[in-house]
Every structure is written in C-alpha cells, then in structure tokens.
Chains A and B, each alone.
Chain A
Amino acid sequence: MNQETQNKILYKALLSRAVEEKLLNLFNEGLLSGTVHTCIGQELSGAVISEFLIKNDTIFSNHRCHGHFLSITDDVNGLIAELMGKSSGVCGGRGGSQHLYKDGFFSSGIQGGFLPVSAGLALGHKFNQSKNIAVAFIGDGTLGEGAIYEAFNVASKWNLPLLVVLEDNGFSQSTAQEETLAGSITARAAAFDMMSENVDTWDWQTFHEKSGKFIAKVREESRPGLLVVKTFRLKAHSKGDDNRPAEFVKKYFDIDPLNLWIKANEAEHTKKMQDIDQRVNKAVELAKASPVGEVLHKKPKSKEVFTWKKNELSNRRTVKAINDHFTDLFKNDKKVIFIGEDIRSPYGGAFKITQGLSDIDTNRVFNTPISESCIVGMGTGLGMLGYKPMVEIMFGDFLGLAFDQVFNHASKFNDMYNDQVNVNLVIRTPMGGRRGYGPTHSQSLEKHFLGMPGLQVVALNSFIEPSDVYKNLTTENAGPSLVIENKVMYAKPLTLPKVEGFEYLKSDEKFPAFLMKPLSQKVHCTLIGYGGMTEIMVLAAIELFEKYDIIVQVLAPTDISGFEAIHYKDILLNSEYILTVEEGVGYSGFSSEVLASIQETLGSAFAGVKRLYPEYSSIPASGALENKMLPDVQHIVDKCEGLVRHGK
C-alpha cells in the first residue's frame, strides 16, 4: 500500500472516530434525539472498503452506519445536522442516525431487511450493463435474519454483483456470538455457492489488499461475494448498554489499530486532527444554526368533489383485460420487469395474468424462488434505479411473508430519505375467498396495508377496466403500490348488468370509483365496498329494488387507502342510510375508516349507518361454511332491509 492510500484511509478512519466522539458529546448535552450507534473501533472497515467503490455504486448500511457514510460521502455537515434533527441534515432530520441517504448511499435500521433490496439494486446494475455493484454492510448478529438467505440464494442463482460486507464484532447488542450463532459464517456463503473472503481491521493493510481483489471479482465477474471483516466495537452497542467486562474491552482498546497508529505517529496525528476538529466543530455550529424542517403530509388534503362520467366496459374476461394491458405495457416500456413465482410462460402465473409475457422478452420476466420477502425487496431495489417492477405475490395471504419489505422498506424510503428516493413498485396479488382454498389462501388482508404512509393501495373490481387503474401505477415516480385483485373476479367478463333503472358511472379521480346509480327520485341506502364485494353489492341492489321495495346505490372506490367522504359528498347525501360491506375482518377495517370519514365530514346527515362483515373467525375451507361466513347477496339484502326498515 502506498503512503497516499494509507493517508487517505487513516484520515477517513480518524474523521469517523472524531465525528462519533463529538456525537456522543452532543448526545450527552441533550442535543441529539434518539440514540447513537457508534462504530468506534470498526472505522477501518468503511475506510478501506470505500477505497474500492466507484460512482453510481449503491451502498446499503445498517444502524451502525456513520463510519461508512463518512468514508464514502465525506459529508460531515450533512451527517451532524441530520443527527441533530435539522433541515440541513442529509435527510432533513426525517431519517436521523440510522436512516441516511446521499448519492447512492442508504442506511436503514432494519436488520437484514435491506439485503433483498440490495439484491434488487444489484439486478438493476446488471440490467444497466454498468460495472456498478451493490454493497450491503451487515453485522454478525444479522446472520439470524431469514431475509438475507433469500437474497443470497437469488443473488447467487442470478449472478448478481452484490458485495455483502459482514462486520463480525462478535456481539449482537449485548449477546455474544457463541450464544446465538450455529455453524460457520463462510460455510453459509459456500452453501449458496457464493465466494467469500476473511479479513480483519487489525491487519488493515492485508484487509486492503485482499478486499481490493475480492471486490474487483464481484464487479468484473458479476457475482455475489461475502467479505467477512473481523473487528471489534470499543463502545456500547447504543448508549450505556454495554455489559461486556471492562478488562475484556480494554484488551481490544490496546490493540485497536487506530490507537496504535496514533501512539506511534503523534506529530502526524496532531496535524491531521487540526483539520478534522475544525471540520467537526464547524459542522456542529452550522447544524445548530439550521432550522427544524416540516412534517410533510403524504396525501395533501383536498376538498374536491369528484365528478362522474358514463362507464363503459370491454366485455373481456378480467384476466384477459389485465393481461392485455400488461402486454401493451411490457412491449412499450422497456423499464417494466415482471417478477414472481411461476409467472413465465407456459404456466403464466397461478391465475394466468402474466401469460405470454416471457415469450415477448424472456429477459424481463423472472420466475423466482419461493421468497416473497426477497422478491418484494428486489422489486424495491429495481424501482429505486428507475425500473418499473411488477411483482406478483401468488396469493395475497403470502404478503405476510413480505410485510416487512412493504412496510419498513418500499413504503418508507421516500419519507425517511426526505423525498430524495423514489420507489417505483407495483405489488399485485389475488385476495379473497369463495374458492374453498381454506384459511391461508382465502383471506382479504389488505386492511393491514391501509394506513401505511407512502403506499398506495388499490382494489380492482369487475366494473372498472383494469387499465384505468394500472395506467396510473406505472407512470414515472408513481411510488409503491399494492394492487388487490379478487381471485373470483378473474374469470368473469367485464360487463355491466343489463337491468333497467340504473346507470353505471365512474369518477374522474386518479383511480376511478364505480357508481351504480339508481334512476330514481329517491335513494334509500348507499352500499359502499370494494374489490370482489362490488359485484355482490350490485346484484343485491337489483334484488333490493325488485323484491324488497328498497332503492340503493353502490359506491365502490378502487383507491382504498385514501377514502375521504368529501369527494363523494354529493352522491352520499342523496341517500338516507349507509351500509358498508367488507369481505375482510370487520374490526379496524376499511369500513370503519369510511364511516368515520363520513361522520366527520358529513355529520349526522343520515338516518342510520351500518357495517356488514364476516364473523370474527378464520375462513373455513368447506365451501358451504365459507358461503355462510362471507357476505353474499342475501346477507346484504337482509342487512340493508333491516337498516332501512327498522333502523337496525
């Protein structure tokens, strides 16, 4: 290693240490909120690795990310202001210590969760045909997270340029590795046919030499690698939570490579520290002077009342209509990539939605392993690089396996990185029962995804052309979305019932709502629901008039994550009663939001409101039991009649 390189590495490590020591002081002074995870003792890891990174590489770091950030970006001002929660911080104070972003550098506080995202970034680099790589810094404690193995598997299988740097400091927070880790670390990589290398921060010259070669292989050969860096954390995991014996830590303090270098090079150290201290102190002053930013509202409140126009449908089967739209999209936009289990031709997906796409361009349709977390994370990574991934989750029930990816990653990045990162991602999945698939293949779980700032949730229904909804999800910077497709609906044609007395309208909103409007001077009740319930509500409306002397209108929004009654004020106020209908669990569901919004916005304009939802129970497999449980036409008719006639 030449002197210049050595100086650079030392400067980065000393800077990291000085900044973190300052951060500890600021914390003690009460000027930082949250906590600080320092890498004091481990600085050389970031200082060395950063030597081998090039422009447009993407780096994901973890909760202990300050050293990585400084070695890669050299942005002392942005880091200190961020931790002090000020608007001049790299994320405007919205991300804080564990959630930094700058020029392709990201960090996140979810252990292992960003490995699938990094795999997606690596796939994106591969698509770009650049020499860029994705880097992920994890710790030895993260070896307990399943998501990383899903990512190892895919990265190795698809030869993705993913460098995983594992900083092995022997402890997960306070727990020693011996208590929690089975087997060997490098054997894990070997099992996935991933190359690996062992280095340490004490002999950092060798670390530099070996990692240079290792990273070059990852870059040049486009294949994943696990670089295990033995190191030691001299300070507590976070703040004041160190229960390791003092003499044990002291031993490492004495052999700490930076401490040894300082001892041997006092004059040079003093010289280097003059510049570093000055930078750090200036950064603190700048951060103190910077104002606190604003809390941004993801969905700006609008009082607009939507207008309605005639709705027309194509009479195609729903599966065909979605497939036709995807085929056009796929042909015309090379950024569109389909990812999912069993989605390539000839199988074309469990519900045949992606049929034929891989025949058009085999490189942009991926059959994945059964790894829902990984495929959603990969979609996220691809989306961050400007691709438009369409991720299929075979059954909505499996979203549970990807929940963390949706909730802590895809939907959060735009916010926590202060609007500097856009995630284009469409996750689509069939939901709902009535097919006898039983308790884990029949649920309507979308309510768990409502109320996630940053995530658009839409539900297709049989009376809105799928393209009307999908076209707005794949525009530039559309952000992450979850599309609920009711599985019963796929086979049905998109047709409006030919019954005299009703007209069929759609709203002019971004994701159009469907309205079945009675041609009558009076509306007794409005039925509100979405997705698969829509057709059942329409049939109930017809029956309620003909046999029960009751006139109802049906309102079915497709945008189910942003229902606001004010937008539908005019049509809601037409009716005397409101009945919401939901196939998912009623408690804390969509209907509750609808009725709350109606009450808040329109007050007590109605003679009565009710919710109809299934019994509080898992969905039975027996077809007969399932029919008993899920709201059908007769359930709606009975509930509506009770409400309108008897107020109950």
Chain B
Amino acid sequence: MESKVPNINTNDRQVEVVKWLIENGGHVEAGAELVELGTAKAVVSIQAEHTGFISQKGVVGEYLPVGQTLVSYHKTQAEALAQISAAAPAVETSTTASVKSEGKFGFLKFSADAEKYISENKIDKSLFQGMGLVTTDMVQETLNPQLKSKKSDNCKPGAAPKKTAMAPNFRSTNVSGLKKAEIDALTTGTEGQINCTLNFTFLSHALRQRVKRENLFDGIILPIILFELGKLLPEHPLFTSFFEDNKIYHYDKVNLGLAMDMGKGLKVVNLAGADQLLPQDIYSKVVDFSMRYLENTLEMDHLMGSTITVTDLSTYGVETFTPLINGKQSVIIGIGATGKAPGAPMTFSVTFDHRVLSGRDIGVFMTTLIERLYSYGKVDLIPQESFLALEKSCSRCGIDNESYQEQFKRFAAMQVIMNASGELNLLCHTCAQGF
C-alpha cells in the first residue's frame, strides 16, 4: 500500500517535502499527521492514509511531482527498512519509475538546448514524460512553476536564472518551508513595486459601543469593517488588481485575504466573494478559519486566491505599521489601535502600489470607508425621541424591526441612515448592500 503526492494546488505540479512527522521506517496510524508538504502558497500537513511502517520516498527539501509515490506502508518494520535500504543507492531510478506522466502528447522531445540544460543540471528527464516538445524555459518552469506566470522576462526561452556568488564568511541555515512560502508571496508583492503607505485614523468608540450593546459578533468590530470594505471594493476595481509587464491585470472577484498569525505562522485566509458576504457570514467564516488555523485543518482552498489583503495587528498593541503587499495584489490594509486612548482610535495603514493607484485614490476610498463605519455609531447621536419616532422597519425592504431581530438574532444590525431629503430612516443589514 502506498500514498501518492497529492494535488494540493492545481498550479503546483510539484511540492516540497518540508518535514517528515513520522521517521523513515517508523509506525503510523491511518489519519495521523505524516508529513508537511510545501506548495508555492503554503505548507500543508498530510495525513497517513493507511496504518503501517513507512518507507519515505522523498527527503526533506526535495521536490516531488504530483502523483508520484510519497510513502509506502509495510506490515513489519523489517520490510520497511529493507525497502529503504534497497531504494537508497538507486533513488533516481525508483523516482523515475514512479513518475506519472502529466503530459498529454505521448512522447517527449527536447530541443538541443533543453537537452544540454538537463544534462548539465542533472535533471531527471522522466519529469517531462509525455510533454511533447520541450524547450529550456519549459524545463525551468516545470521545476519552478512560479516562473510561468512571468510573461515578459523570465519565460523567454533559455533565460536561465542568474546565479549569485555566495559570500565566503557566512554560515547558512535552512529556512523552513513555511517561511519560504511567506517570503515568496511577499517578495513577489514587493518586486518592482513603488509602494507607499498612508495612515487614516478612525475613532471606533461608537461602533464598538453599538456592537457591544446589540451583542453582535462577540463584541468584535472586524466583521463590520470587512463587510463595509467588501461592499466598497467593487466600486474601486483598481484595489483588486495588480501590475505586471506594464499592464494592470484586474481580478474578476473581490476576495478579501485576512492575514492571521496566532502563533503557528502567518497565514492569509481567503474570504472569497467578500462583496457578497453579510457581516454575520464574515463573522462565521473568520471564526471557522481561526478554529481551522489552530487545528491545522486549513485547506489550500482556504488559503488561495485572495485579491486584496487586510492584516489586523490591533490586538497586539500595534498603533501604526507599514504592511507589505502580497504577490499579485496592489493594496494591503493594516489595522492598528491605540490602546485605551479616548474615542478608541484605530489606524488604517494602507500600503499601495503607486504604479496602479495614487494617494488620492486611497484617500477617497478610505474616507468613504471610514464614513460608513461612523454611520454605525450615529444611532447614539440621535436623540432618543427622534429614534422612537422612526418607523420601526427597514425603509427599503419593509421588514419590521421585531421580526428582523427575531430572524437574525444577534447578527441583526439595523442602521440609521439619512435619506436624500434629510429624514432619518432605518435600513437593515441586508438592504445595506450598495448603501
């Protein structure tokens, strides 16, 4: 019995062995954590599919093609060890034998240059089985899929990565796969960018009071902030775009990435389709992601595909900071807070890529966002008698406040808005889409 290298992320045809959690020849129970594999985006724990003594098919740091055998399970430790020692001198051969062809052409033919490159770099030809005609750049891209996305420079055939000379006096230690993924994302994000950070203050007291008083979202205001952000983003498509090769690429989705670090490394979870989510959806998702983070059950789908990022360091005593833009994005919004200061001031630190956006764009956007956030608190400013005089139903869909509260319970958030003629009206959170 054996387990194959799983297809964790469709863009990664190979994964890195980051850490074996069960030693070679050791015993594992089905369902127990077996190995950590790194993709371009994150490190994922893989569980054992069977029970038995294992023989590993890759060493830490090695890239394994998807579909290749990852581990074999044996009934006895002796069997496992025999397998390990038999495989040891001929690792390459066994690797070759188990490569699953990903190509569809049923033949393989290298250009003269690719042939040379493969032989000089001792690359296993069987990685390319079935790929048809293969040139040097295709070899490089297969080994390092990130090259593929760079259309202008790196994908030019034959443009081998430049080798940098190692300085003589340094000692090196390996960076963890996890950290590598983080570095990759941030490096791509900062490469060639002209970044600028702007700070905006938001007095969160009234919003906090409202959330607390109405017993919403366990008293945290982040779901409201993300909700309003999600609603605003479709009107500002440049915020969910990125710059490359003198072109701006626009994403067709508003996927809010939320950076999380609760002690197990930085991960960015994806609130996909944030422009369509209601505050309580966001709240439930954030809770779910946090649980999964702590339980190591985040999946690739949870971590991939965000088109703009929010990073909240307000609970760690950070007042303002300069967040770093993620790869293939143009904006990151950092949230900081100033402890117990009056009005509970918060700071939104927005780093943006000047090649895509300008300070004015950010100013307009953030002013609108902050205004909307203030509107949640305005109910406190309204004299009690005025509030009581209001029609107690949503001015748009007509749902009365009582059944609304009944239906949505603690997620209900009736807002007070001022209409065009200056009158105060109520608006339920559902209708508040497109506010």
Contact = CB atoms under 8 A, between A and B. Distances in A.
Nearest to B156: A645
B162 interface: no
Contacts of A547: 111-112
B156 A519 contact: no
B435 interface: no
A520 B134 CA distance: 7
B109 interface: yes
Interface in A596-648: 604, 607, 644-647
Contacts of A324: none
Interface in A572-607: 576, 604, 607
Nearest to A550: B157
B136 interface: yes
B134 A524 contact: no
Given A500-B107, A519-B132, A519-B133, A549 B152 contact: no
B251 to A, nearest CB: 18
Contact of A546 (B111, B131, B159): B111
Interface in B129-144: 131-138
B111 A549 contact: yes
Interface in B339-377: none
Contacts of B135: 522, 524, 545, 549-551
A518 interface: yes
A413 to B, nearest CB: 49
A521 B131 contact: yes
B158 interface: yes
Given A545-B111, A607-B151, A501 B132 contact: yes
Interface string A533-557: 0000000000001111111000000
Nearest to B117: A549
Contacts of A604: 247
A522 B133 CA distance: 8
Given A520-B105, A545-B111, A576 B132 contact: no
A500 B138 contact: no
Given A520-B133, A546-B112, A549-B112, A576 B155 contact: yes
Nearest to A549: B113
B114 interface: yes
A520 B113 CA distance: 16
A518 B133 CA distance: 7
Contacts of A645: 156-159
Given A545-B133, A551-B135, A576-B151, A521 B157 contact: no
Given A520-B132, A604-B247, A501 B112 contact: no
B103 interface: yes
B157 A518 contact: no
A549 B133 CA distance: 10
Interface in B2-53: none
Contacts of A518: 132-133
Contacts of A647: 152
A645 B152 CA distance: 10
A178 B81 CA distance: 116
A607 B138 CA distance: 17
A311 B113 CA distance: 30
Nearest to B152: A607
Interface string B223-252: 000000000000000000000010100000
B158 A501 contact: no
Contacts of B137: 522, 549
A518 B103 CA distance: 14
A497 to B, nearest CB: 14
Nearest to A521: B131
> Which of B133, B137, B156 has the most A CB atoms < 10 Å from its CB?
B133
Contacts of A501: 107, 109, 132-133
A520 B156 contact: no
B109 to A, nearest CB: 5
Contact of A549 (B131, B136, B155): B136
Contacts of A546: 111-112
A604 B135 CA distance: 25
Contacts of A522: 135, 137-138
Contacts of B138: 520-522
A500 B109 contact: yes
Interface in B150-181: 151-152, 155-159
A501 B112 CA distance: 14
A550 B113 CA distance: 10
A397 B136 CA distance: 45
A267 B131 CA distance: 97
A520 B131 CA distance: 6
B346 to A, nearest CB: 42
Nearest to A544: B111
B105 A519 contact: yes
Contacts of B158: 549, 645
Contacts of B247: 604
Contacts of B113: 548-549
Contacts of B103: 521
A608 to B, nearest CB: 9
A551 B133 contact: yes
A647 B159 CA distance: 13
A547 B133 CA distance: 13
Interface in A4-63: none
Contacts of B107: 500-501, 519
B6 to A, nearest CB: 22
Nearest to A604: B247
Interface string B85-128: 00000000000000000010101010111100000000000000
A501 B133 CA distance: 6
Nearest to B109: A501
Given A520-B131, A521-B132, A604-B247, A549 B105 contact: no
Interface string B303-338: 000000000000000000000000000000000000
A636 to B, nearest CB: 16
A530 to B, nearest CB: 24
Contacts of A607: 151-152, 245
B206 to A, nearest CB: 48
Contacts of B109: 500-501
Contacts of B132: 501, 518-521
Contacts of A502: 133
Given A520-B131, A520-B134, A521-B132, A549 B157 contact: yes
Contacts of B114: 549
A546 B157 CA distance: 13
Contacts of A644: 156-157
Contacts of A576: 151, 155
B114 to A, nearest CB: 6
A645 B136 CA distance: 12
Interface centre among B112, B131, B156 (most CB of A within 10 A): B156
A297 to B, nearest CB: 34
A607 B153 CA distance: 10
Contacts of B133: 501-502, 518-520, 545, 551
20 contacts: A500-B107, A500-B109, A501-B109, A502-B133, A519-B107, A520-B133, A521-B103, A521-B131, A521-B138, A522-B137, A545-B135, A546-B112, A548-B113, A549-B111, A549-B137, A549-B157, A550-B111, A550-B135, A576-B151, A644-B157
A-B pairs, 9 with minimum CB distance: A520-B133, A549-B113, A519-B132, A519-B105, A549-B111, A520-B132, A501-B133, A549-B135, A549-B157
Interface of A: 500-502, 518-522, 524, 545-551, 576, 604, 607, 644-647
Given A524-B135, A547-B111, A549-B135, 20 more contacts: A500-B107, A501-B107, A501-B109, A501-B132, A519-B105, A519-B107, A520-B133, A520-B138, A521-B103, A521-B132, A522-B138, A545-B135, A546-B112, A549-B157, A550-B111, A576-B155, A644-B156, A645-B157, A645-B158, A645-B159
